[in-house]
């Protein structure tokens, strides 16, 4: 079974704004990038997606029968959603930064909680030859932890490109 985790393309939001589960639009011209991704991915058996529009629009391009799933959303940043990173109290941010694996931002979720919801999703995934999962950087990092055994304390430093395709071959 091949799993293709695809990150959404660049959203249209001011630089420096926290937007984990905030439903933000895509930049103009995203259709051309979606076409390129569709050509690279090719024919697939199933497409699952985060329900946020920045993912759902790509999923629609890949298959008219895509399946949205709440568990594929980005990390929930709680009270920080939609505000500037610079506006967040530095001591609160530092505490979260030192404990992000087990502690979420105020009203948000920890990395461990994100990993648990992806693990639950993967357990329910039916066996198929080629599956695409259109999602976010945090979920792709969690997939690297769950499917490749990468340590949790290292995955957040990994760069996950907008429009990037990350392939996992499961036997």
CATH code of the domain in which 122 resides = 3.40.50.1240
For residue 32, what are its two tokens? 């051309």
pLDDT at 171 over 80: no
Query: Which domain does 145 fall in, by range?
Result: 2-169
What band does 117 get if pLDDT is binned at 50, 70 and 90? very high
CA 50 to CA 59: how far, in whole Å?
A: 9
pLDDT at 68 over 80: yes
Kindly report the pTM of this predicted structure. 0.95
pLDDT at position 1 is 87
Domain count of the fold of the chain: 1
CA 32 to CA 35: how far, in whole Å?
A: 5
pLDDT at position 128 is 83
pLDDT in tens, 83-105: 999 999 999 999 999 999 999 99
């Amino acid at each position: 079974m091949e799993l293709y985790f695809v990150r959404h393309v660049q959203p249209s939001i001011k630089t420096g704004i926290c937007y984990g589960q905030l439903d933000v639009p895509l930049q103009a011209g995203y259709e051309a990038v979606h076409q390129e991704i569709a050509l690279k991915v090719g024919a697939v058996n199933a497409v699952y997606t985060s329900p946020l529009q920045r993912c759902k629009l790509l999923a629609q391009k890949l298959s008219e029968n895509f399946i949205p799933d709440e568990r594929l959303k980005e990390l929930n940043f709680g009270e920080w959603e939609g505000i500037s990173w610079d506006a967040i109290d530095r001591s609160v941010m530092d505490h979260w930064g030192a404990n992000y694996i087990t502690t979420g931002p105020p009203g948000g979720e920890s990395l461990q909680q994100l990993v648990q919801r992806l693990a639950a999703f993967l357990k329910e995934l039916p066996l198929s030859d080629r599956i695409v999962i259109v999602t976010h950087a945090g979920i792709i990092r969690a997939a690297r932890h769950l499917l490749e055994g990468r340590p949790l304390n290292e995955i957040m430093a990994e760069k996950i490109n907008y429009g990037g395709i990350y392939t996992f071959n499961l036997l």
